[in-house]
Chains A and B, each alone.
Chain A
Amino acid sequence: MSRNEHRSISRRGLLKAMSAGAGMVALAACAPAPAVTTESESAAAPAAEPLTVLLWSSYSGKNGEAEQALVDKFNEEMAGMDLQVDYQVQGNYEETAQKVTAALQAQDAPDVALLSDVWWFKFYLNQTLVPLNDLIESQNVEVDDYHAPLIEEGYRQGVYWWIPFARSTPLFYYNREMFDAAGLPDRGPATWEEFGEWAPDLVSRNGDELEVAAFVHPDSASYIAWLFQGVAWQYGGAYSDPDFTMRMTEEETVAAGRFYHDTVHAYGWARPSKSIGEDFLNGFSAAMMASTGSMGGLRANAEFEFGTAFLPEHDFFGCCTGGAGLGILNTTDADILPYAMDYIAYVSNPENTVFWSKSTGYMPVRKSAATSDEMTSYYEEFPQFKTAVDQLELTRPQDSARVWVPNGDQIIGKGLERVTVLGEDAAAVFADVNETLVNEAAPVLETLTVVES
Chain B
Amino acid sequence: MKMEDTAKMTQQYSQSSWQNGAVRRKDGASAANTQVSWVGHRRSRVSDGLGYAGMAVVLLMIGLPVYWMTTGAFKFDSEIYQLPPTWWPQQPTLQNFADAWTSVPFGNFYINTIVTTFFGSGFEIFFGVTSAYAFVFLRFPKRDWIFLILIAALMIPNQVTVLPNYLTVARELGWSNTYQGIVLPGASVAYGTFLLRQYYMSLPREVFDAAKVDGADHLRTLWSVVIPLAKPAIISFGLLSVVSKWNDYLWPLIITNREEWYVLPIGIRWLMVQEGYISWGPVMAGTVLVVLPVLIIFLYAQKYIVEGIAAGAVKG
User: Could you list which residues of chain A lie within 8 angstroms of chain B, going by C-beta atoms?
Assistant: 11-12, 15-16, 19, 22-24, 27-28, 30-32, 34-35, 56, 58-65, 88-93, 95, 99, 102-103, 105-108, 110, 168, 277-278, 281-282, 284, 291, 293-298, 301, 303, 323, 361
Contacts and interface: CB of A to CB of B under 8 A. Distances in A.
A168 B275 contact: yes
Given A16-B173, A34-B260, 5 more contacts: A35-B178, A106-B167, A110-B257, A294-B275, A296-B277
Given A291-B275, A297-B279, A102 B115 contact: no
A23 B115 CA distance: 15
Contact of A282 (B81, B179, B258, B269): B81
B284 interface: no
Contacts of B259: 88-89
Interface in B33-86: 77-78, 81-83
Interface stretch (B131-139, B180-188, B220-228, B291-299): B180-188
A31 B178 contact: yes
B81 A19 contact: no
Contacts of B276: 277, 291, 293-297, 361
A60 B270 contact: yes
Classify the interface of chain B: helix, strand, loop or mixed.
Answer: helix
Contacts of A291: 275-276
A69 B168 CA distance: 36
B101 interface: no
B271 interface: yes
B9 interface: no
Given A95-B253, A106-B170, A62 B176 contact: no
Contacts of B270: 60-61, 64, 89
A88 B180 contact: no
Interface string B153-181: 00000000001001110111110111110
Interface residues of B, number: 47
A35 B177 contact: yes
Contacts of A56: 257
B88 to A, nearest CB: 19
A24 B277 contact: no
B184 A11 contact: no
Contact of B180 (A24, A35, A110, A303): A24
A27 B180 contact: yes
A42 B104 CA distance: 28
A243 to B, nearest CB: 29
A103 B279 contact: no
30 contacts: A12-B173, A12-B174, A16-B173, A23-B123, A24-B180, A28-B180, A31-B178, A35-B177, A59-B274, A60-B104, A60-B269, A60-B271, A61-B273, A64-B103, A64-B270, A65-B103, A88-B259, A91-B269, A92-B272, A105-B171, A106-B170, A107-B171, A108-B171, A281-B81, A282-B81, A282-B82, A293-B276, A294-B277, A301-B78, A323-B275
Interface string B93-125: 000000000011000000110010001000100
Contacts of A95: 253
Contacts of A32: 111-112, 115, 179, 260
A260 B224 CA distance: 72
B115 A30 contact: yes
B189 interface: no
B309 to A, nearest CB: 32
A102 B274 contact: no
Contact of A106 (B81, B104, B176, B179): B176
Contacts of A15: 168, 172-173
B180 A90 contact: no
B3 interface: no
B266 interface: yes
A301 B269 CA distance: 21
- The 4 A-B pairs with the shortest beta carbon distances in the complex, nearest first, are A297-B277, A106-B170, A60-B270, A34-B260
- Of B83, B168, B257, B274, chain A has the most CB atoms within 10 Å of the CB of B274
B83 A58 contact: no
Contacts of A16: 173
Contact of A91 (B103, B104, B266): B266
Contact of A19 (B111, B112, B173, B271): B173
Contacts of B103: 60-61, 64-65
A61 B170 CA distance: 29
Nearest to A323: B275
Contacts of A27: 119, 179-180, 183
Contacts of A64: 103, 270
A75 to B, nearest CB: 15
Nearest to B119: A27
A282 to B, nearest CB: 5
Contacts of B170: 102-103, 105-106, 108
